[in-house]
Structure formats: structure tokens, C-alpha cells
Amino acid sequence: MIKTENIIKKYGSGDSEVIALNGVSLHINEGEFTAVMGESGSGKSTLLSILGAMNSPTSGSVEVNGTDIYKLSKDERSMFRGRELGFVFQSFYLVPYLTLLENVMVPLVITKKTKKEKLEMAEYSLDMVGLGSKSHRLPGEISGGEMERTAIARAIVNRPSLLLADEPTGNLDSKTGKAIMSLFSDFNKTGMTIVMVTHSSEWAGYAGRVIRVADGQIAD
């Protein structure tokens, strides 16, 4: 599913050069729920962005579903992200002027699906996160937990094989965090591969596997 070989990621150059990842090799199987833990600045978010085909490594290779994603052109990589991956961000990043339904539909906008198909898929995703009844509300009219669930609905609307989440519960209270983790567990049970960055051992406990990153390397 995911196979990385000796990823090195450097930012800046000369005296200001920072090595964010220093020779990361890992293998994540299809259907695995993996938590990536580490201190702030350890390189876990950089690892996630590289796995998410958004951040080219300085060296090394990344294969997702058998595709060496950094050998793809920019456009091909964009399409790969839209087709194969789902992203959940800590800060939700919902588009404020679109309704929840429209926000969830955004990844489908650039696909060739019919209007009816797009609508059905978005409604199904919102139902899965329990927000079907609030589909016509704007992000400003719902709670933080509901925003996160909308962001999750958007991430899964394309039925991605790999879901990448960066501290999805970072801005949520414990109760809402648990609800989100339950959702992730449910998705994982359907066969979806999940890689989640978190600080919390509690949330990492929902994952079947925990990878620790320290100083840009896999610690264990």
C-alpha cells in the first residue's frame, strides 16, 4: 500500500538548512490504521505531506498503491490526490461560503461524474458522519466537532483507498474526539487504510500500529 525508501527531506540551504526527515523507510499495508506520533518539529507532519503527494522529498522514493508518486507530473499527482487520497486537517479548512453539502462536494467538482452522482456521493458521506440533516448550513453555523466531521466527509467522499489525517482531534474536546476516532475505526473496518498524525496516546490507541518519529527518523 505505502512503501517509502530512505526519504530525506531538507528545507533551506547552507547555514539555514534544516533536515526534517533523514532516511525514513517504512511500509504500511493495505487496510492498516497507523498512528504517527512524535514531538513538535520531529518531522511527522512533513512525513504525512510527503505520503500525501504534496511535498517532494529531497531524495528517496514513495510508492502508494504501486505508484511512485514523485515520478508523476504535477498534474498527474494532483489527479492522484483527488482519486486515491483523502485528507483531514486539524484546522478543518472548510470553505466558509459553501454549504456543508457543497464543501463535501468540492473534491468531486473536478471529476467527470454527473451532477446526480456528485450529489448522492456527498449526501452519503454527510450521512456517514451524521450531518445529513445539516447539509445546507454554512460552516459558520455549526460547532467545531461538526466542522471536523464535515472535513472528514469531504475526505472520504471520493471513496479514497488511503486517508491521511493530521491531528484530526487537535481542536476538539475529548467527547467529540472520541466520536471522530470511532468514525475512523469504522472506516478502517471497511478496509480503508488510515495514517493519522497525533500527539495523543489515547487517540493513537485506536490505531492498530504506532510509528514514532524523532529527529526526522523512525524511532521504533
Residue 12 C-beta: closest distance to another protein, Å = 14
Residue from 102, 124, 142, 200 binding another protein (CB under 8 A):
102
Q: Which is nearer to another protein, 155 or 180 (CB)?
A: 155
Residue 19 C-beta: closest distance to another protein, Å = 17
Rule CB under 8 A: say whether 78 interacts with another protein: yes
Task: Return the range that interacts with another protein (CB under 8 A); candidates 60-68, 85-93, 176-184, 212-220.
Answer: 85-93
Cβ–Cβ < 8 Å for 189, 45? no
Question: Residue 112 is which amino acid?
Answer: K
Site string for another protein, 162-191 (x = CB under 8 A): --x-x-------------------------
d(C-alpha 11, C-alpha 101), whole Å:
38
Rule CB under 8 A: say whether 36 interacts with another protein: no
Q: What string of DSSP letters covers 129-194?
A: TT-GGGTTS-GGGS-HHHHHHHHHHHHHTT--SEEEEESTTTTS-HHHHHHHHHHHHHHHHTT-EE
Of 6, 75, 44, nearest to 165 by C-alpha is 44
Cβ–Cβ < 8 Å for 48, 166? yes
Residues that bind another protein (CB under 8 A): 45, 48-49, 52, 54-55, 74-75, 78-79, 81-83, 87, 89-91, 93, 95-98, 102, 105-110, 115, 118, 154, 158, 164, 166
